[in-house]
Amino acid sequence: MLSRLQAISVKVTDPFVSLSLVQASRSLQTSSQRLAPVPPLPDHGGKVRHGLIPEELFEFLYPKTGVTGPYMLGTGLIVYLLSKELYVINHETIYAICIGTIIVYGVKKYGATVAAFIDSINEEKVAKAQAAKDSHISFLTEAIENEKKEQWRVEGRGMLFDAKRNNVAMLLETNYRERQHMVTNEVKRRLDYQIALQHLNRRLQQEHMINWVEKNVISSITPQQEKESIAKCIADLKVLAKTTQAKAAA
């Protein structure tokens, strides 16, 4: 009976009453009394037979009277009340039978539907909270994935820097080579200039010498010599002309 009381006490959720009853039942246990966390509601109420009589009565009477004991007790009670006219059959009895039938029929027919509807109200509440929790969890999981991807990207940054470093080194190398090339060209140009200058000098010297020699030779030629050479040349020319004519006639 105390367990049924406890079950009722948890079902009757008036805080003051339920707390006091829960504390009262807890005094039989050895654990320390705690107010929080709130003990969970039992999933089902106390078991009843025929909708009215708690199962504990049947279990209480079973050892002494067997399975039919409580039924015999009930029948005996009803027969006693009726026979002794402690309960008088009047018009209210007829009405009681009527309304009893209506209530039992209503509960049997619509009980499950109504219970399912009420459970669905609670389940909707839970589903909403669960959906919010799930969406938050999925959002956080996605954020973790994104973070991991970013970390992987950061690893690739080293390769990027290496490539850039290579680029810069190549640019420097190219620049150095270019300048070296330029230096070589400039030096060569200056040396070419010097060579040209020397060539020019030598040529000038040669020409000057040739001119001086020619001038001296020409000035050393006397007029008599000149006449003799001219006469010789004419004689040679005549001879040549004769030979040529002879060759042509032959």
Which residues here bind another protein, judged by CB under 8 A?
A: 11-15, 38, 41, 89-96, 98-99, 101-102, 114-115, 118-119, 121-122, 125-126
CB of 128 to another protein, least distance (A): 11
Give the pair of three-digit tokens for residue 37.
């966390």
CB of 77 to another protein, least distance (A): 17
Tokens 């399912």 map to which residue?
116
Nearest-CA neighbor of 31 among 22, 21, 40? 22
Decide: helix, strand or coil at residue 105: helix
CB of 126 to another protein, least distance (A): 7
Q: Rounded to an integer, what distance in angstroms lies between the CA atom of residue 97 and that of residue 60?
A: 30
Residue number, 119 or 142, with CB nearest to another protein: 119
Question: Residue 6: is it exposed, middle or buried by C-beta count within 10 angstroms (0-12/13-18/19+)?
Answer: buried
Residue number, 37 or 158, with CB nearest to another protein: 37
114 phi-psi bin (left φ>0, alpha ψ -120 to 50, beta other): alpha
Residue number, 3 or 93, with CB nearest to another protein: 93
Residue number, 101 or 206, with CB nearest to another protein: 101
HSE toward the beta carbon, residue 130, CA cutoff 13 A? 6
Residue number, 35 or 217, with CB nearest to another protein: 35
CB of 76 to another protein, least distance (A): 22
Residue number, 136 or 165, with CB nearest to another protein: 136
Neighbours of 9 (CB within 10 A): 20
Q: Rounded to an integer, what distance in angstroms lies between the CA atom of residue 155 and that of residue 162?
A: 12
Residues written for the chain: 250
CB of 83 to another protein, least distance (A): 19
CB of 98 to another protein, least distance (A): 5
